[in-house]
Structure 1
Amino acid sequence: MRVAVIGLGRMGWPIAGHLAGGEHGHEVKVFDISAEATAAWAGEHAGEAAASVADAVSGADVIVSSLPADKEMRVVVDEALAHVAEGAIWIDHSTISASGARQFADELADRRAHFLDAPVSGGVDGARNGSLTVMVGGDEDAFARIESSMAAYAGRVTHMGPSGAGQITKMTNQICVVGVAQALAEGLDFAINAGLDPERVVHVMTQGSSTSWEMENRAAQMIAGEYDFGFSTTLMRKDVGLVLDEASAMNVSLPVTAMVAQFLADVHALGGADWDWCSLMERQRRLSAPDG
Structure 2
Amino acid sequence: MSEQIAEIGVLYAPFLGGMMVGCFLFGITISQTIIYFRNYKDDTLFLRALVGGALIVDTFHFVMVAEGVHNWYLFCKLPQNYAGLALFHWSLGASIIATYVITSMVQALYIMRVYMLSKNIWISIFIGTLSVAQLAFGLFLWEDLFVANSLTALHQTKGQIGGSVELAATTLCDIAISVALWWYLHKGRTGFASTEKMIDKLILYMVNLGLLTSVASLLTLILWLVMPSSFAFVSLTLIRSKLYCNAMLVTLNYRQTVRKAVQGNTSQQQQTSRYLQDLDGVEMDSKAAYRSRN
TM-score by length of 1: 0.28
- Larger CA Rg, structure 1 vs 2: 2
TM-score by length of 2: 0.28
Higher helix share: 2
Higher strand share: 1
